[in-house]
Structures are given as C-alpha cells and as structure tokens.
Chain A
Amino acid sequence: MLAILAVGFAGILVRLFVLQVKDAAALQRMAIDQRIRSVTLPAPRGTIFDRNGRELAMSLPADDVYVDPQLVRNAAAEAPTVASILGLKEAAVLQLLSTKATAGGQPVHFAWVKMGVDLQTARLLASHDLAGIGMLSDTRRYYPNGPLAPQVLGVVGVDGAGLAGLELQYQSLLAGKPGHEVVQEDPSGTLIPQAGATHTAPVPGDDLVLTIDRDIQYRAQQSLAEAVQRNHARSGTVIVMNPHTGAILAMATYPWFDPNNVAASNPATITNSAVTDVYEPGSVNKIVTAAAALQEGVLNLNTRFMVPDQVTVYGDVIHDAEIHPTEPMTLADILAYSSNIGAIKVAALLGERRFFNYLQAFGYGRPTGIDFPGESPGILPPLSQWSGTSMATIPFGQGIAVTPLQMACVYATIANGGVWVQPRLVRGTIGPDGQFQPAPAPATRRVVSERTARTVAELLAYGVDVGTGVQAQIPGFWVAGKTGTAQIPNPKGGGYLPNVYDASFMGFTPASNPQIVVVAILDRPSTVYGGVAAAPLFRDVARFALAHLRIPPASKPPIPPHAIPAG
C-alpha cells in the first residue's frame, strides 16, 4: 500500500517536471495562442478640405452593427425593428438574423448587418436591447456639404478605403497606418487584464487640402443644375480653373449623387466625367487652329478668306451653322461667327503636320496628368491614320475626342500667355505634425508665344462682344470665350447622331489679365447652339467666381483695329 502511494506521488512529481520545466515553453506558447487576439485600431482617415480649409470630407465615429444568429431568439420579431431603424429591407434582415448555419453546415456566429451607422441611430437600436445584435466602434466617412463635388471627392467602401475619386487617388495618404492592440481574452471575449497588452498606436491619415473652392463649386453646381434643367439637357459639366497655377477651383458634373448615401445612387453618376469621359469638342477647338496659324505666321489678322457656307470634301458636304453668302472673313470673323469652312481654310494653310503638332502641344491625345484616377487621354488619331476628311473636320473640333478638362487646359494655355500648365486638384497635405505641405509645382510647357496668346485672347473677346458669345458678357469685365456646338458620334459606330448636339462655352476673364478659366458644357440641350445654351451658364459661374475671388472689374480696352470685322 505504501509502495502504491509512493509510486503515485513519485509519478506525479516526474510528470510535473516534464510539464512545468521540459515542455513548459511549448505549453505556454499554446496557452497564449488560444488566448491572444490582435485588435486592429483603425487610424482616423484624413479630412479633405477645400482651398480655404473648409471640410469637404471627414470621418466621424460610428458603429458597425453585426448579428450573432445563434443568440437571436426570435428573428421574426427582431427583424422589423432592425430593418426600420437601420433603413434596410426587412426580408434581407430576417435572412441575416435567421441564418444559423452556412450551406456547409458550419454554425454562423457573425454577420454584418450594417456598417458605419451613425451614433444616434446606433444608440436607438441599442436601446431595444435585441438578442444577438451587437455593435463595434468604427468611423464613417461623412461629407458635410452633401452632394458637393461628389465625383471629385469620390467614395469610400464599407471598410473605409477609397474606391473612387480623390478618396482612391490619395488612399494611402488619407488612410494612415492602423494600430494594433494585442490582448489576451477569455473564451467569451472578455479581456484578461493581468495578461497585459501590447499597443501600437495608429498613425492618423494626412489631411488633404484641395484646390477646389467650396463656394465656387457650390455655385457652379447650382448654375449647372439650373442650366441642364432649363435646356432639358441630359447632363452637363462645369470646370473653373486658375490658368496660372492649374488649380481646379470647381469641377462639377451633373447629375451627381449623394455621397452620404452612395448605396441609393445611380452608379453612373459616380464617374467624374470631366476627367474620365471624352466628347467631340466642336467649334471650341477653333482656337487651336487660330493660335497655330498665328504662331506659325501663315496669316495675319488682316488676311481675308473667301468663305462659302458649305464645301464638299471627298463626297461629304460640310457647312457652316448658318446659311450665308460667300463672303470675305478675317480670322477674327471666323472665330466670332464660328465659321467651320473658315477654320478649314485656315488649317489648310498650316498643313497636316504642323496642325497635328499644335494639337499635340495643346495636350490632345494624352492625359493632362491631373491627380485623379482613371483619367482619359482623349482620342487624337495619329497622323498616319488621318483620312482625307480629317483636315476638313478637326479644325472645327470633330473627329477628335477630348475630356472637358483637356479643353479647360487649352483655354488656360491661352489665358496663361501661351504656357500649358498641368491641372491639379490638390493644393497640399497636412501631416500628423499639423504642418501644411504644398503640392509640388505643376509641370508646364510653352505652346505658343505670349504675343500669340494675347492676340487669340483678343479675338475671343471680340467674339463675346459681337459674335456668337454675346450671352457670356459680364458687366464690368472683359470676357474672352468661344462657343461650341458639336455633333455627337453614334456610339453604335458610323456617323453622328441626328439632331442632337453638345453645346459648350469656354473662355476666361478678365481677358487683359486672365484670372479664371471656365468651361461649360451641356449634353444634348433642347437649344442646340452653344451660345444660347452654355454661354449663360459660363456667365453665371464666372461672375460668381470673379466676385468670390475679389477680382476687380477692369474696363474694356478699345478693340484693336485689326480685330474689327470686315463686315
């Protein structure tokens, strides 16, 4: 008996040594492994400010609502409450709450019901004390101005990562670095305090300061929406740009969406088509033709062209917008009255190659390099693919495709004394230290001489004074601009859609010392002519921007003699 007891005690002693000394490290490792849990501490996403430091996008504390279906006692009773509070479909919620096992038979212990629920709603839901419904702290992206430049700002996904727009472009900058807390938990998930924890603090994301001006953007959107509706247009685009710095002050695309309720929006409206979509520019392209001809000296302002109202090129009849007798026109007349035939004649003096080179120099066929995802380069067919009719259409902006932004840059080049400036949306960033870090200076390149640019500006101003752009006039300011009415290519291929047009007006002001470039485009307005449809939109936006930017009125200088039309 003694022996049995002695053997028992000795056996336990040996076994204790094995467990607590020999295998201790391995066992301890396993014990820790089953208790340890790494909690990700989300880094606060950076705020997006407008150029004056007003919030455009910010992250707010929010709750993610989840369900443990195993704990739900009465799914049918809970589902309507959850659905009505969270604004979800009752059937979907019931499905979530009552799915206790996967198709493979594994029990389901966790499913998201809705993420990013604002705290007030979450508190209301919590007050119902529903079995199985739980919440986790999170942040929610909030756009305090509602649908203000939503396509520019973009959207974030349920995980808080940028999916489109600047939220995507600057994802890594805005996101920061999530921290980690490694804790030990009991089987039910309660923290074991004496086990300690390692804590890596999250690094908050940088803030973004945009070039967008909230007020100009707001006014641009208001005017755009009004213009689209008044003209029964399908959609529209407005860009306001500083021609010297490339800063985009406003970039509006109608229709837009509510960034605070992306789920309910039409996905097509999320695209920032000012940057990502192309269209055929039409007559607004004539300034490239004019600037190239002046720069190359193939004509002077007194050169007169005999311009009929239609020509036939390789069997295609090309005509001016209005019927007119064959008459002599200067370059100023061609621009002011937007003569297509005149533009063809001017381009013919340049020749294909030189004309093509200028198109390239103005930025056609390549992305501007703006800091925005998914920018389209536009379509400029290489010279080798030019057909016999290319020189008969491209001079007045058909047969090529551009983004509205590219057109804004073309007008900015003229406004900036002939130097093309890379456009940009971000002025700078604010790091965790709170210091403003300006964005690198934009790329620039000279396209035409300052003198050419000034001359083109004067010609454009003349067009606003007496030509197609009279509706763009702003009292007290000298406006330079050009109307455009473009045919829309048939997306099914082959020719153009009948009886529908893009109407646009593009220009800058004050013409003597340009401060803003404004591009206004309406897609398929009921009034087809750019001057009628888009010029008032240009005027509204430009006038507000001038006032908002406190640009003093400048009286109109006398129109130079060479700009006076021959009549």
Chain B
Amino acid sequence: MAGEATVETAGSRPRLRLVRPDELPPAVQRARLERNVRRSLSVLAVTVAALTVFGLVMVLSASSITAYTQYGSSFVFFKRQAIFAIAGALAAVVAARIDYHVWQRLWFPLAGVTVLLLAMVLVPSTGVSIAGSSRWIPLGPFSLQPSELAKFVVVAAGAAILTRNHRLVGEPLRMSALLLMLLGGMVGLVMLQPDLGTAMIITGAVFVLLFVSGISLRWLAGAATLVLAGGAGLILSASYRRTRFLAFLHPWSDPHNTGYQTIQGLLALGSGHWFGVGLGASRAAWGYVPNAFTDFIYAIIGEELGLIGAVALLAIFAAMVWAGIRIAIKAPDTYGRLLAAGIIGWLGLQAIINMGTVVGVLPITGVPLPFVSYGGSSLIVSLASVGVLWSIGRSTLAKLTRGQRAARGKGPGRPRRAAPVTAAARPEP
C-alpha cells in the first residue's frame, strides 16, 4: 500500500496526490476514528453509570447509621441520593441531546446567574450555613450548592472565551484576560463561603482549558507559579489556616483535633486490608470518620471493600478520564475540544483531590468524590456535564457520518467505482 497513488474525487476532476508510507486509506482512518469515539462513549457511559450506582450503594452503607440515629430510618440519605441520581440521569440525557454549542452562546447569562447565586449564598437570609460554611441555598426539601454549578459554568464560559479569542493565541494575556477575570470573580465568591476545595478545582479546570487552548507553555507555567504562590501565601498567612491546611502532613501531632479526620480516614483504609470488612460492615462509619458518606466516602469504601475495592474504583475513574480525554481529542471543533477537556479535567482533578485527601497525601479541603459522594448539586451537575461530554462525542460521530454522506453525494452522479473518502471531506480537526 505504501507509496501508492490514489485518485482524489474532490472537486469535479480527479487529482493525484502522494500518500505517506504509513498512511491508512481515509476510509480505514474514518472507520477507526468512528470506532474509537464509539468505544470512548461506551466506556464513558459504563464507567459513569457504574460510579453512580456504586455511589448509591456506598452512600447507603456509609450513611445508614447516621441516618438512623438522626432520623430514625437508615434510608433517608440513600433515598435522597437516589432521587438526585434519577434527576441527574435525566439532566444527562437532556444535555446529551442538546447541541453543546448552546453553552457557547449562553455562557454570559449562565455566568451571571451563577455569580448571583454565589452571592446569594453569602447573604444570611437566603443562604444556609453549616459548620461555619455558607454553601447552600434552601430549595424546598432540598438545597442548592451553587459552587457545584460554578464548576461547569466556569468550564463552559472559559471554553467559549478561549474559542472566541483563539486567534489571539500568540498574545496569552489578551486571550485569557476575560477568562481570568471571570475566574477571579468566581474564586473570590467561593472563597468567601469559604470553600477552598471548589476554588482549587475551578482554578485547576481553567488551567486545563488554557493548556488545551494551545497557549504558550512558558506563559502558562508562569501563571501557574503565580497562582500557586498567591494561593500558598493566602493559606499560609493566617496561622490557624496554615495549621489546618498542613495538618495532613503530620496528623499524629494533634490526633484529636486538626489531625483527627485524616487519621480516621487512614485507620478506616488500613482496617480494610486486602478484601475489606464487608459491605455494610464499616466500623468507621459509626461516627469515627467525619463526613463518612460525603467527602470521606472513599475511606469507607476502602474499609468495607479493601484494597481490591479501592483500586477498582480508582481504575473506573481512570477509565472514565481516559474516555473523556479521547472524546476531547476527537472533538469536532475547538469549543467542543475545550469544553470536553475542561469537563473531564475538572472531574478527574476532583476525583484525584478527593482520593488524595483520604489517603492522606493532600490537605483536607472538602471536595466530594464525583458521582459517589452524597450530595445532590454535585451529582446532578456532574451527570449533566457527562451528558455534555456525550453530546460532544455524538457530534464527532455525526460529523463523520455527515462527511461520509457529503463525500458520497458530492460527485456528479454516482461514481463508477467506490472511491475512497477524500481528505478534504474529513472534518476539520
């Protein structure tokens, strides 16, 4: 096949072109691409579904004792999480069917609403404060956590801004100025709650966007250094914050106070050993591990299902991230690529930060484990975002199909023999 000349059918007259020795025929390439995207979509769907269902099981297991002592029924949190999962699934289906460019067009009003909600949280009359943090807006029997929504909105808006400014890629500051302003506003509002974890994830997702946008790596590294230094300065400036933040490094020096949660997580994980103490048999969930069914659910998973379960969950996340990245790479346009990368970057980062916190290598910042931890806003927004990812993958497929149809239909009449799909007919990378 190497060095073979092929007949191009684009345009009205055939043209000859040299084919690289390792180049596959376009039809084969397209088929392979299509297969790849389909496979990525399948993996994404299966992993996210698995995580959500597994999360439901673990929320039941980890919350039943708390639910029973607080409400007299072991199923209170489980039932609510099940409702959230159904709502999230519906949201995902809707998002998957909507053309993702809607987010590109609507980013400004979306960002506006989000900023408004984030501001409302801080107002005592509309926000709910739990354990010193004002993160929730009561909504009938439920409550809304706008910072979860902010994660998606920042990604959607950031992708839109960077797409619009894509021609300014040589001028990093001009290209990203608006995005950085948006980021600064959002992070500022989130930090007022205060919610360091969400601020970190939003910032991380923005850096993923900037990285994928093709911005100068040197500039990106400089910006990252600046942000890290600023963040570190902010955290370490106040001694009480420094103590709490850095407690994970030496939890045993204050095991009953700042080191307590880290230590309890480690004890739970260690108790799991290879195969765990069994589903529903957690001892740590009996009030030892704080936030056992929210931020620290991974500790309970490690205790009940052992190393096997913990690693399996890690592998499912890795597979999900892998599939998401492939969808991003194959995305049909710049906005899709940025949006997909931002979403999967955010979810992957959040998973790593959460699990890293539980295993004691990252500071405790209060980040839920996507799809698994209890929490309606997080679950619904995450599932909807996966729907958006799905729609990006679907549109890649649609474009492939369209290109094929276009290629077939372009020539005057039916070609006499089956002609290979042209490179020109291929969608823009």
Residues of A participating in the B interface, judged by any CB pair closer than 8 Å: 1-2, 5, 8-9, 11-13, 15-17, 19-21, 23-28, 30-32, 34-35, 184, 186-188, 190, 192, 194-195
Bound together, the chains give a CA A121 to CA B195 distance in angstroms of: 53
Interface assignment of B361: CB less than 8 Å from any CB of chain A: yes
Can you list 7 A-B contacts with CB-CB less than 8 angstroms, sorted by A residue number?
A: A9-B317, A16-B269, A24-B270, A25-B270, A31-B283, A32-B271, A195-B283
CB of B352 within 8 A of chain A? yes
Interchain CB contact under 8 A, A20 and B352? no
Contact B361 A11 (CB under 8 A): yes
B269 contact set on A, CB distance < 8 A: 16, 19-20, 27
The answer to whether A20 and B345 touch across the interface, beta carbons within 8 angstroms, is no
Chain B: minimal CB distance from A195 (Å): 5
Q: Which of B267, B318, B325, B348 has the most CB of A within 10 A?
A: B267
Nearest CB in chain B: distance from A29 CB, A: 9
Question: How big is chain B's contact interface, by range?
Answer: 35 or more
Contact of A28 with B361 in the complex, beta carbons under 8 Å: no
User: Which residues on the A side are within 8 Å of B208 (C-beta)?
Assistant: 1
The residues of B that contact A12 with a CB separation of less than 8 Å are 314, 352, 355-356, 359, 361
Cα A24 to Cα B308 with chains together (Å): 14
Interface hits, B283-341 → A, CB 8 Å: 283-284, 286-288, 302, 306-307, 310-311, 314, 317-318, 321, 325, 341
Any chain A CB within 8 A of the CB of B212? yes
A31 touches B267 (CB 8 A): yes
Question: What is the predominant secondary structure among interface residues of chain A facing chain B?
Answer: helix
B53 at the interface (CB under 8 A from A): no
Would you call A16 and B311 a contact (CB within 8 A)?
Answer: yes
- Beta-carbon contact of A186 and B359 below 8 Å: no
Q: Which residues of B contact A (CB under 8 A)?
A: 65, 208, 211-212, 266-274, 280-281, 283-284, 286-288, 302, 306-307, 310-311, 314, 317-318, 321, 325, 341, 345, 348-349, 352, 355-356, 359-361
Task: Determine how close the nearest CB of chain B comes to the CB of A453; give it in whole angstroms.
Answer: 76
Task: Tell whether, in the assembled complex, residue B283 and residue A184 are in contact, meaning their CB atoms are under 8 Å apart.
Answer: yes
Q: Name A16's closest neighbour in chain B (CB-CB).
A: B310
In the bound complex, residues from chain A placing their C-beta under 8 Å from that of B267 are 27-28, 30-31, 34
Partner of B288, one of A11, A17, A34: A34
Contacting residues, chain A, for B302 (C-beta < 8 A): 16, 19-20
**Inter-subunit contact A21/B212 (CB<8 Å):** no
Contact A186 B287 (CB under 8 A): yes
**Residue of A19, A31, A184 contacting most chain B CB atoms (<10 Å):** A19
| B274 engages A20 (CB within 8 Å) | yes
Tell me the interface secondary structure of chain B in the complex: helix
- Docked complex Cα distance between A1 and B206 (Å): 12
Chain B neighbourhood of A20, CB < 8 A: 269-270, 272-274, 302, 306-307, 310
Closest A-chain residue to B341, C-beta based?
A: A1
Q: Contacts A16-B307, A19-B270 known; A9 to B314 CB distance under 8 Å?
A: yes
Q: Determine which of A15, A17, A30 lies in contact with B361 in the assembled complex, contact meaning CB atoms within 8 Å.
A: A15
A16 with B359, Cβ < 8 A, contacts A21-B307, A27-B270, A35-B283 known: yes
* Distance (whole angstroms) from the CB of A63 to the closest CB of chain B: 25
Known: A20-B310, A27-B267, A192-B283. A15 touches B325 (CB 8 A): no
| Cβ B359 vs Cβ A5 within 8 A | no
Chain B residue at minimal CB-CB distance from A26: B270
Query: In the complex the two chains form, what is the Cα distance from A519 to B91 in whole Å?
Result: 100
* Shortest CB distance B203–A (Å): 14
Q: What 4 pairs between A and B have smallest CB-CB spacing?
A: A27-B270, A8-B352, A186-B286, A31-B267
Residues of A within 8 A of B310 (CB): 16, 20
Residues of chain B within 8 A (CB-CB) of A34 are 267, 288
Residues of B within 8 A of A13 (CB): 311, 314
Q: How far is the CB of B314 from chain A (nearest CB, A)?
A: 6
Check B268 against A31 for contact (C-beta < 8 Å): yes
A1 touches B211 (CB 8 A): yes
Say yes or no: B273 contacts A21, CB within 8 Å.
Answer: yes
Instruction: List chain A residues, Cβ under 8 A from B345.
Output: 1, 5
Q: Is the CB of B287 within 8 A of A194?
A: no
Name the residue in A20, A21, A28 with the highest tally of chain B Cβ atoms < 10 Å from its Cβ.
A20
Report B309 CB to chain A, min CB distance, Å. 10
| Cβ–Cβ contact B287 & A5, under 8 A | no
Task: Please name all residues of chain A whose beta carbon is closer than 8 Å to the beta carbon of B307 when the two chains form the complex.
Answer: 16-17, 20-21
* Minimum Cβ distance to chain A for residue B88 (Å): 23
**Identity of the chain B residue whose Cβ is nearest the Cβ of A11 in the assembled complex:** B361
A31: nearest residue on chain B (CB-CB)?
A: B267
- Choose among B274, B287, B341, B352 the residue that contacts A187 (Cβ–Cβ < 8 A): B287
Whole-angstrom CA separation of A188 from B356 in the bound complex: 29
Asked whether A28 lies within 8 Å of B287 as measured between CB atoms, the reply is no
Interface centre among A11, A13, A31, A188 (most CB of B within 10 A): A31
Q: Once bound together, how far apart are the Cα atoms of A190 and B355, in whole Å?
A: 29
Nearest A-chain residue to B359, judged by Cβ? A15
Kindly state the separation between the CA atoms of A186 and B286 in the bound complex, as whole angstroms.
5
Q: A15-B361, A31-B283 are in contact. List 13 more A-B contacts (CB 8 A).
A: A1-B211, A5-B352, A9-B352, A16-B314, A19-B266, A24-B274, A27-B270, A31-B268, A31-B271, A35-B288, A186-B287, A187-B286, A194-B281
